Amino acid sequence: MTSASSARRRARWPWVVLVIVLVLAALGVAAEFIARSVVPSTVRSLVIDNLDLPADQQLDVQVPGMMLPQLIAGTLDEVRLASDEVTVGGISGSARVTATDVPVSGGALGAAKGTVSIDQDEFSSLLDSAQLPVSRIALAAPNATVEGEVDLFGRQIPVGITVTPGAEDGDLLLTPVSLSLNGMDVNLDAVSGMIGSAGDTITQPQRVCIADRLPVGITLTGLRIEGTSAVADISADGRITVDQKLLENGTCPRS
């Protein structure tokens, strides 16, 4: 009798183990599901609050990989943020940002990089402090063409300047590649000697400070024209999540 009971218990034991494993697996799946529901919405709320965005701001949040191990470790390996239309520091456009080593309990990020895509009007507003005659601007990859007028020999002459945008030390960099005066193409190298200091202004590479349009903790690292949009590469100081001063707009030197 004892031998038979022992045999039955031994027979049931693998099934008991299997049931326990399945229950634990189900609990793990449920916990992962809950984490995937709660964490992105929490991250979204924190970003909206910290950047002072509208409560109904469209902002998609993704956390790749298994969530539970990351939560247990206390750090999210990667968080991806995306919005088709957002305004940060006075610049509006669509944004894609990836943050790494994001502490669950709060603290500085490991790093954050991304892109912001802006239209022609928004790009034009970045040139407000540029020493260029801007009355109209058109973007066509890989360049931007600025049109306006320059004072030449006491007359206002129509000018068109085609530049390749870029970035240098956080500033917007405009490098002229072609020029037209009064509808005629002219040689860039010859213009400076023809019209003096005005020629230097429109034919030499020009840096445009945009620090006053961005939070201190965000730096422009690159800029290119894609189609009819300007795509800016940005990087963020990891301390932007803990230092309120890094969320304030920067300043530009007075000319």
Strands 218-226 and 111-118: unpaired
Q: Output the CA angle 66-72-77, nearest 5 degrees.
A: 50
| Model pLDDT, residue 175 | 92
- Please state, in angstroms and as integers, the Cα–Cα distance from residue 241 to each residue in 57, 102, 106, 221, 226, following that order: 19, 10, 8, 20, 31
- Cβ-contact 181, 198 below 8 angstroms: no
151, 164, 174, 210 from 167: Cα distances, Å: 29, 10, 8, 10
**Helix (H) / strand (E) containing 50:** helix 2-50
Relative to beta strand 143-152, strand 136-140 is: antiparallel
Beta bridge partner(s), residue 103: 75
pLDDT of residue 239: 92
Q: How far apart are the first and last CA of the chain?
A: 100
pLDDT one-digit tens code per residue, 119-160: 988 898 888 877 777 778 889 999 999 888 777 767 787 888
CB atoms within 10 A of CB 226: 12
* Contact by Cβ (8 Å): 144, 122: no
Instruction: Provide the pLDDT for residue 24.
Output: 47
Query: In degrees rounded to 5, what are phi and psi of residue 120?
Result: -65, -40
Q: Hey, what long-range contacts does 50-56 have (CB within 8 A, 24 or more apart)?
A: 50/241, 50/247, 51/88, 51/247, 53/86, 53/87, 53/88
DSSP-assigned beta bridge partners for residue 226: 229
Q: Dihedral angle at the C-alpha atoms of 211, 217, 218, 219, nearest 10 degrees?
A: 60
Which residues in the chain come in under a pLDDT of 70?
Answer: 1-36, 89, 153, 190-201, 255
pLDDT of residue 171: 94
In DSSP terms, 164 is beta-bridged to 175
DSSP code per residue over 188-250: HHHHHHHHTHHHHHHHS-EEE--GGGSBTTEEEEEEEEETTEEEEEEEE-GGGGT-GGGGSB-
pLDDT of residue 134: 76
Task: Tell me which H or E stretch contains 7.
Answer: helix 2-50
Element at 180 (helix H, strand E): strand 171-181
CA distances in angstroms from 115 to 44, 52, 80, 148, listed in the order given: 18, 20, 12, 29
